[in-house]
Amino acid sequence: MQELLNEQEANTTFNTTSNHSREIVLKAYELFEKSPDWVSFFREVLGVGGVARQVFSTPEDYLAFEKSEAYAEIQQLVARLRERSKPQADGAEPTRVITVRLPKSLHESLRAEAHDRHTSMNKLCISKLLQMIDSQFVPKD
């Protein structure tokens, strides 16, 4: 009996998560149809104050969302907007600069990958930063 209740609870959680994911995808498509720049789209959908973080407010829920087909679909929309890459409007979100220390071999690898993909290192690095990463690949402090 307890196993059946646990299974029903898991199905309810999955269905709720699935419904929330569909809701976020629908909102993402509504915004996408307005042809925003990719930064505005990212901010409104996946950014800190975006709809996805409002719906999935715990780190565990958001990590589960990042592994969903809905998240992958939204990432495709971000990529399509980045391809359009129209100049940002006046008053757009300011740009921030970070400095990352990395080994020479990794830098050379990124440079070669950017060349092979016919893009800049900046665009390649932003693409990599936008992707979900599995926490098992991130060292703990």
pLDDT (0 to 100) of residue 69: 93
| Single-letter code of the amino acid located at 42 | F
Q: Nearest CA to 74 among 49, 50, 95? A: 50
| Burial environment of residue 52 by CB neighbours within 10 A (0 to 12, 13 to 18, 19 or more) | buried
Q: Is the pLDDT of residue 132 over 70?
A: yes
pLDDT over 90 at 125, yes or no:
yes
Give CA separation, 21 vs 38, 62, 96, in Å. Answer: 20, 10, 30
pTM of the model: 0.76
Indicate if the pLDDT at residue 10 is higher than 50: no
The domain segmentation of the chain, as residue ranges, is: 1-85, 96-136
At residue 32's C-alpha, the angle toward residues 17 and 64, to 5°, is: 20
Q: What is the pLDDT of residue 140?
A: 83
Task: Check: CB of residue 74 under 8 Å from CB of residue 24.
Answer: yes
Report helix, strand or coil for 111.
Answer: helix
pLDDT tens digits, one per residue of 47-95:
999 999 999 999 889 989 999 999 999 999 999 999 887 655 545 788 8
